[in-house]
C-alpha cells in the first residue's frame, strides 16, 4: 500500500516551489522587458530609416506637411467615413472623440513616413503607449500621441490648414529643414522615445507673426522634468530618481539619428549632451517644465544664443 505525503513533506515541497518562484519570476520579468526593448529598438530603427528615405525622395527636405484628408487617421476605427464626407470636423477639433483624426500636420507626422513602412503598428511603443493612452490629454483624438517623438526643430512644421493666415503658419527649421544642412548627421537626433507627445517640441522665435523659426528644445532642465520623478528640489521639482514610466528600459533612452542609425543612450549622457537654459542663452521660464509643441518666453529679445557646439541637437 502506497503511503501519502506527510504534512511536513507537503510543506517542504510548497516551500521549495515558493523559493523557486521568488527566484524565477524576476528573471521572467527581466526577460519580458528585454524583449520589449528589442521590439522598441526595432520599431524606432525602421521609423528613423523611413524619415531618411522620405528626405531622399523629396530633394533632401524633411517632411513638414499640413492638410486634412478623409479617412487618413492612424487609428483605423475612424477610417470608415463614406466617400464625399466633409473631413473638416475631424481636422479642426470639433469631432469628439476623434478631434484631429484626419489632420495631417506634425501631431500626426507618422502619416508622412508611413508609406515607407507599410505598417502602422510599428508606431506603437510596446510600453509607453500602454501607459499614457492615445493622446497627450488622455482622450482619443485619433492620433498616436505617445512613444516615438519626431524632432521638429530639424524638420520644421506647418500650421497652414485651412489657409496660410494662421499665427505661426510657417515654422521653419533653424538649419533649413534638410539632411545636408545638419552639421553632423551621425550625432544629431531626429527621433527619440518620449511620453505624452509624439513630437519633441521646439523653441519658437519669434512667438508672434505668421512665420517663425523652430530652434531645438535643447534645455537640460526640461528633460530632467521628463526623465526623473516629481517631488524633489530640482528646477522643475524633479528628484534624482529615474521615472520608469518615461524611461522604461533601465536608464536608457533609444535615439535615432539623422544618418539613419539607432542606439540607446544613458539618461546621464543625454543630459550631458544637452545645454542648460543658461548655456543655451535663453531666459528661465517654468513653462520649460511642461510638455508642449512649442515654447517661447515673452521676455525674449533674441533667439537662443549658444556658445559651443551641441551636436546631438544640431547646434554648431
Q: Which domain holds residue 56?
A: 9-67+104-313
What percent of the chain has pLDDT above 70? 93
Q: Rounded to the nearest 10 degrees, how much is the dihedral formed by the CA atoms of 277, 283, 285, 290? A: -40
What is the pLDDT of the chain when averaged over all its residues?
Answer: 90
Whether 27 has a pLDDT exceeding 70, the answer reads no
**Band of the pLDDT at 130, cuts 50, 70, 90?**
low
Q: How far is CA 59 from CA 14, 156, 175, 185, 292, in A?
A: 68, 15, 16, 16, 30
Question: What pLDDT is attached to residue 157?
Answer: 95
**Band of the pLDDT at 214, cuts 50, 70, 90?**
very high
Domain annotation covers residue 72: no
Enter the C-alpha cell of residue 220.
537640460
The total number of structural domains that make up the chain: 1
pLDDT tens digits, one per residue of 279-291: 999 999 999 999 8
Domain annotation covers residue 76: no
Q: How many CB atoms lie within 10 A of CB 180?
A: 10
Domain annotation covers residue 89: no
Whether 261 has a pLDDT exceeding 60, the answer reads yes
Domain annotation covers residue 95: no
Beta strands at 189-194 and 252-257: parallel, antiparallel or unpaired: antiparallel
Domain annotation covers residue 148: yes
Q: How far is CA 257 from CA 43, 185, 254, 285, in A?
A: 14, 7, 10, 29
Domain annotation covers residue 82: no
39's CB contacts (< 8 A; 6+ apart) are 126
Question: What pLDDT is attached to residue 69?
Answer: 97
Domain annotation covers residue 94: no
Place of cell 524633411: 62
Question: What pLDDT is attached to residue 2?
Answer: 57
Question: What pLDDT is attached to residue 164?
Answer: 87
81/289 Cα distance (integer angstroms): 39
What percent of the chain has pLDDT above 90? 68
Domain annotation covers residue 84: no
Amino acid at each position: 500500500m502506497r503511503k501519502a505525503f506527510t504534512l511536513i513533506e507537503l510543506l517542504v515541497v510548497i516551500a521549495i516551489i515558493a523559493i523557486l518562484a521568488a527566484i524565477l519570476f524576476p528573471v521572467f520579468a527581466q526577460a519580458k522587458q528585454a524583449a520589449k526593448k528589442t521590439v522598441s529598438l526595432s520599431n524606432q530603427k525602421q521609423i528613423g530609416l523611413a524619415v531618411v528615405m522620405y528626405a531622399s525622395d523629396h530633394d533632401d527636405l524633411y517632411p513638414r506637411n499640413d492638410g486634412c484628408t478623409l479617412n487618413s487617421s492612424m487609428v483605423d476605427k475612424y477610417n470608415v467615413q463614406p466617400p464625399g464626407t466633409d473631413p473638416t470636423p475631424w481636422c479642426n477639433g470639433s469631432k469628439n472623440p476623434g478631434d484631429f483624426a484626419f489632420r495631417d500636420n506634425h501631431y500626426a507626422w507618422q502619416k508622412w513616413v508611413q508609406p515607407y513602412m507599410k505598417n502602422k503598428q510599428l508606431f506603437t511603443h510596446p510600453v509607453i503607449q500602454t501607459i499614457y493612452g492615445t493622446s497627450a490629454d488622455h482622450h482619443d483624438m485619433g492620433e498616436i500621441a505617445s512613444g516615438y517623438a519626431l524632432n521638429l526643430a530639424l524638420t520644421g512644421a506647418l500650421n497652414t490648414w485651412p489657409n496660410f493666415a494662421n499665427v505661426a503658419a510657417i515654422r521653419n527649421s533653424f538649419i533649413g529643414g534638410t539632411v545636408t544642412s545638419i552639421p553632423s548627421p551621425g550625432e544629431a537626433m531626429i527621433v527619440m522615445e518620449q511620453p505624452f507627445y509624439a513630437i519633441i517640441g521646439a523653441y519658437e522665435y519669434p512667438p508672434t507673426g505668421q512665420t517663425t523659426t523652430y530652434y531645438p528644445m535643447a534645455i537640460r532642465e526640461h528633460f530632467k522634468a521628463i526623465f526623473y520623478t516629481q517631488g524633489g528640489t530640482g528646477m522643475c521639482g524633479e528628484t534624482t530618481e529615474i521615472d520608469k514610466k518615461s524611461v522604461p528600459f533601465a536608464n536608457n533612452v533609444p535615439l535615432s539619428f539623422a544618418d539613419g542609425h539607432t542606439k540607446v543612450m544613458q539618461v546621464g549622457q543625454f543630459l550631458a549632451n544637452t545645454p542648460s537654459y543658461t548655456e543655451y542663452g535663453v531666459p528661465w521660464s517654468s513653462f520649460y517644465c511642461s510638455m508642449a509643441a512649442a515654447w517661447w518666453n515673452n521676455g525674449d529679445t533674441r533667439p537662443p544664443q549658444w556658445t559651443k557646439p551641441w551636436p546631438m541637437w544640431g547646434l554648431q
